[in-house]
Chain A
């Protein structure tokens, strides 16, 4: 709207001062546009410079021998077909245990966080009295302000013995513990985005439903929730992306064992935690180093795709509810 304001001015004959002023305006606008370019530049630089360090896996003879794609993704001979031991005498670089570990922990956290976040949002948006809503919303959003290292610490010190005894597990650090702690980190994401989607549903929908004799819960469940469905799905996808990329919690609570096991009581190793744990001691330029950057590329691509899906669905809600995209 505002943009049109300065453009309609006709300028017949300009004095020197006016021309200088016009030049200055152009310079300011140019500078600001240049700054806006940094977002795009940063995103491109991230993928370029992370991929660049991973490139050795495909160009360097030593790296290609030690960490070929088949060694990363296919079963190897021997008693243990899938192992991640990149620093042993004969490096084993299977990414399968990392995928299994990441997925296992992420699924646990989603199973806990999705119902909590969506139902919590439904309560705050539809059922809570106004006073309570104004209190609950910022308080739940405060949870997002807790650094993940603190959640990892909390899992380690407080949740670990509770989870171990409750589920009768052998190990203090395991997939369940990491998943539960991770759920705490993604609940605020799912809650906030779902709540936004629910609040975006126009009042007229609710009034129409109530006027037809539906109760408050029927309106919430059968009118508001379906109307906001794409946005809520987007919230879940966004939460999933956060869960896959979250590092410190998983690093501290999962036990970091490179085993292929879907048992929730076993320790697990995730993609992100592997980077965090091993990058500190790796030799720059070695095959192992390139491997860790390759994991970074994978994480970047996973989360990029999930983000694009989520933002498309968020837009869909607005489109559906207002008839226009914005």
Chain B
């Protein structure tokens, strides 16, 4: 081939791939711009702090904000210890050729790919009907108490869903702790668990936090798993106990976008709700990215 043809093909291919990359970025920008432009107009202090009224056309979305926050907080409390310790097992305790560790990894990979709606079915079948049902029988409730949708079951369902996120990012964080530090600690006579608690985990803390933040942002946006495990259509009261149902920003978006009799009239509060949800998840993602780049830079400069 002549040099000029080769150059032309090269330019064409570079241009094509650049177009693909910038097209993706463009779509992202379009979504953000559209939501910000329409949503910002409707955001006010009252909107953020009041309960919805007038068939959800008026008032605000405070119960949904509160519900989302409470849900993700409970989810984080449930998923972090299990996720972090699983990663600790895989990276610090498992023998290199362990068959058990290999099965755990296969489970984690597959757990990450299970559709979120199937997690919802699991939450209903396992947490509500099985655990909740047996709990009611055990505690002697005559009518259904735990065997119905509630914030506890929804957050535990989300905890299972976000487990792979936490495990993978914690493992990455553990990998970043230099081997020398473990060796030094052990050489000074510390046991493995002392080394873990005082050297390894503190060293991996930024990465573990990244995992927590990523899990929160993933969990905060998921709607499918909570459709029938606890989210409520309209509930101006805040959830007061673990068995309460709750409002949720994502579910509220879905309800208003699909079931509202007049979408044009609802579009103001709808866009504003989406803006709040998007701002929440993006802020969390951004925090995760910042922590990660900072720790990477620190690790790079330490070597």
Contact = CB atoms under 8 A, between A and B. Distances in A.
Do A and B truly interact?
Answer: yes
Interface of A: 1-3, 5-6, 21, 24-25, 28-29, 31-33, 35-40, 42-43, 45-46, 49-50, 52-53, 115-120, 122-124, 126-128, 136, 138-140, 142-143, 145-154, 156-158, 184, 187, 191, 215-218, 220-221, 238, 241-242, 244-248, 251-252, 272, 275-276, 279-280, 284, 292-293, 296, 299-300, 303-304, 306-308, 310-311
Given A147-B222, A221-B13, A246 B282 contact: no
A32 B10 CA distance: 53
B210 interface: no
Contacts of B218: 145
B7 A245 contact: no
The A contact surface, by secondary structure, is helix
B196 to A, nearest CB: 8
A306 B113 contact: yes
Contacts of B31: 146, 150-151, 154, 184
Contacts of B163: 38-39, 42
Contact of A28 (B20, B106, B164, B193): B193
Contacts of A42: 107, 111, 160, 163
The B contact surface, by secondary structure, is helix
Given A3-B93, A215-B10, A280-B228, A140 B110 contact: no
Contacts of B20: 115-120, 122-123
Interface in B67-125: 81-82, 85-86, 88-96, 100-101, 103-104, 106-122, 124-125
Given A3-B94, A35-B86, A120-B24, A217 B10 contact: yes
Ranked nearest first, the 8 interchain pairs of A and B with the lowest CB-CB distance are: A245-B115, A147-B221, A123-B17, A119-B20, A36-B89, A217-B10, A35-B85, A49-B125
Given A33-B89, A150-B35, A304-B110, A218 B21 contact: no
B137 interface: no
Given A39-B107, A43-B107, A50-B122, A276 B117 contact: yes
Given A3-B93, A36-B90, A143 B27 contact: yes
A112 to B, nearest CB: 10
Nearest to A289: B124
A146 B281 contact: yes
B28 interface: yes
B193 to A, nearest CB: 4
Nearest to B86: A36
Contacts of B285: 142, 145
B298 to A, nearest CB: 17
B113 A303 contact: yes
B258 interface: yes
Contacts of A304: 110, 113-114
Contacts of A152: 254, 257
Contacts of B117: 245, 247, 272, 275-276, 296, 299
Given A33-B93, A140-B25, A307-B110, A215 B7 contact: yes
A251 to B, nearest CB: 8
B167 A143 contact: no
B215 interface: no
Contacts of A124: 21
Contacts of B223: 147-149, 248
A217 B9 contact: yes
A116 B24 contact: yes
Contacts, number: 288
A120 to B, nearest CB: 4
Given A5-B183, A140-B28, A307-B110, 4 more contacts: A116-B24, A122-B17, A150-B277, A279-B227
Nearest to A272: B117
A1 B179 contact: yes
B191 interface: yes
A276 B228 CA distance: 8
Contacts of B89: 32-33, 35-36
Nearest to B14: A127
Contacts of A307: 109-110, 112-113
A245 to B, nearest CB: 3
Contacts of B277: 147, 149-150
Contacts of B114: 43, 46, 245, 300, 303-304
A225 to B, nearest CB: 11
B182 A238 contact: no
Contact of B115 (A145, A187, A303): A303
B237 interface: no
A152 B85 CA distance: 36
B141 interface: no
B121 A156 contact: no
A241 B109 CA distance: 13
Given A2-B92, A5-B186, A308-B110, A149 B10 contact: no
Given A3-B93, A25-B193, A248-B224, A36 B85 contact: yes
B23 A116 contact: yes
Contacts of A53: 121, 124-125, 129
B50 interface: no
A6 B124 contact: no
Contact of B182 (A5, A25, A28, A115): A5
B126 A119 contact: no
A176 to B, nearest CB: 16
Contacts of A148: 221-224
Contact of A247 (B106, B116, B221, B282): B116
A6 to B, nearest CB: 5
A19 B101 CA distance: 28
Given A24-B193, A49-B126, A39 B121 contact: no
